[in-house]
Amino acid sequence: MFKVINENLENHQTDALIIGLFEENKESQSYYQLLNDKFNGHLDELVQSGDISNKEGSVSKVHTLGLIEAKRLYFVGLGKRDAKTVHTVRNTFGKVFKQLAESGVAQASIQLNSIVSGEDQADYVEAIAEAMAMAPHQLQTYHTDRAEESVDLANVKFLTDQSQGVVEAANTGYALGNGANIARHLVNLPGNLLTASDLAAFAENIASKHDIEIEVFDHEKIKAYGMGALLAVNQGSDEPPRFIVMKYQGKDTWEDPVAIVGKGITFDTGGYSLKPKDGIIGMKMDMGGAASVIGAMDAICHIKPKENIMALIPATDNMISHTAYKPDDVIVTMSGKTVEVRNTDAEGRLAMADAVTYARQNGAAKIVDVATLTGGVVVALGDQVTGAMTNNEKWLGEIQEASEQVNEPIWQLPYLDVYKKQVRKSHIADLNNSPGRKAHAVMAGAFVGAFAEDTPWVHLDIAGTAMAEGEHDLGPKGPTGVMARTLAKTMMNVK
């Protein structure tokens, strides 16, 4: 898919030749000047008329009319050279790849030296390849008259005189972006087409593709392991629960794995604490954490970091029936801790509690959980920033570094003793699952944290960031696949 060559621009054959253009004096930019000479100075006229822009985020398309071998030129506006970042390049190339997909372009070449050179070249290549995977991604629909999908880029060539690490970086970026797309696809599926069993089957296909170990617990095995919290959430459903365990071994021996835990509530009615009619729409996305974990595992298997990783997904829907669990019920979790149920719509933290316990009991050195856990985090942070909690600042720092590299910002919420005590206030059990609306996002995280105990743990609440309200540079309206790249990048950064 990716190649590196060093070839003259005017003689290079491709469907689309992409050139970076900064706001600084264009005459000093050799690649622009070379092309301008081949166009007999007409590129300057297009710049003056505004048909070609060097403003950050702009994309300008020019037909070559046979003056050079490439069929089309795409000028990528990069703004001021000293203000350029990996993130601005990623987003701008998202626009480029969307245009290429809409035009049916099958192959493209990028003059990399017109964009970046030097030691950080690989970071930019990785970001460009992420954009290539993510930006043109189309979500599956069920319209009977749906249009045919656009043409995927068959190959991309990087024109550069510094070839070391370029293809590797491009493959890594594409794997990260495709991991996010896998998560998007899963979140987009309707609840009737993605049950817990369907989610498990999808995970099994990923594991089979990469030849990694997977085990799927059925109802009887979940019961045998004492996962009373997951079973309680599942009580009202006709669909059986599943507990998914995927293992990637990057070390010589299986020891001290990092556990990545994803909330897999395939549809959430709220149970007897029923959601209002407007709040229940869209609850097919309540397995966004599980989707991100599966997408991350696909990327991890492509990238092959030197780390042992255990992906854990408690999967069920949360339905209402005569068998459903109720407010005031007391349940026994896998850890042995008892929980007073005060809100059946606080179900995700219950399922996650058993998964976190499983991680601890199976030797996890560190745990990170990802969940569309609370509306409270949306009120606190909106839809651009993921909320985080931790009992270990160093572990959070590693994840935060990765999140910054892929531009999936997170913000730490407090995890203080006062909150830990509140989730332990119950006159009848060890914990209660819903102390009230105050500090709602923090209370949910604190509940999960009670089961992590002293194992380094980070909680990521993606309720706000899992969905985009409109189309954006890196994808369509709808599921974002958030945290799939962050999780995989975190594992890549392990030294």
Q: Which residues are catalytic?
A: 275, 349
User: Hey, which residues does 74 pair with through a beta bridge?
Assistant: 18, 61
Q: Is 326 annotated as a binding residue?
A: no
Residue 347 annotated as lining a ligand binding site: yes
Yes or no: say if 194 and 290 are a contact pair by the CB < 8 Å rule: no
CA distance 66 to 84: 32
What backbone torsions phi and psi does residue 401 show, to the nearest 5 degrees?
Answer: -60, -45
With a CB cutoff of 8 Å and minimum separation 6, the contacts of 248 are 210, 212, 297, 300, 301, 307, 308, 309, 310, 311
- Burial of 313 (C-beta count, 10 Å sphere; 0-12/13-18/19+): buried
Q: Is 255 annotated as a binding residue?
A: no
3-state secondary structure of 112: helix
Q: How far apart are CA 183 and CA 293, in angstroms?
A: 8
User: Hey, is 389 helix, strand or coil?
Assistant: strand
Cβ neighbours of residue 50 under 8 Å, at least 6 residues apart? none
SS3 content of the chain, % helix, strand, coil (to 5): 40, 20, 40
CB 104 within 8 Å of CB 152? no
The DSSP bridge pattern shows strands 386-390 and 457-461 to be antiparallel
| Per-residue tokens: 193 | 């087409």
- Annotated binding-site residue? 45: no
**Would you tell me how many other CB atoms lie within 10 Å of the CB of residue 259?**
27
Q: Binding site annotation covers 345? A: yes
320, exposed or middle or buried, with CB in 10 Å at 0-12, 13-18, 19+?
middle
Full strand arrangement of the beta sheet holding 59-63: 2-5, 155-159, 107-111, 16-21, 72-77, 59-63
What are the φ/ψ torsions at residue 126 (nearest 5 degrees)?
-60, -45
Hunting for tokens 């005060």 — which residue is that? 342
Spatial separation of the C-alpha atoms in residues 122 and 111, rounded to whole Å = 14
Which residues sit in the known binding site?
Answer: 263, 268, 286, 345, 347
Which residues sit in the known binding site for Mn(2+)?
Answer: 263, 268, 286, 345, 347
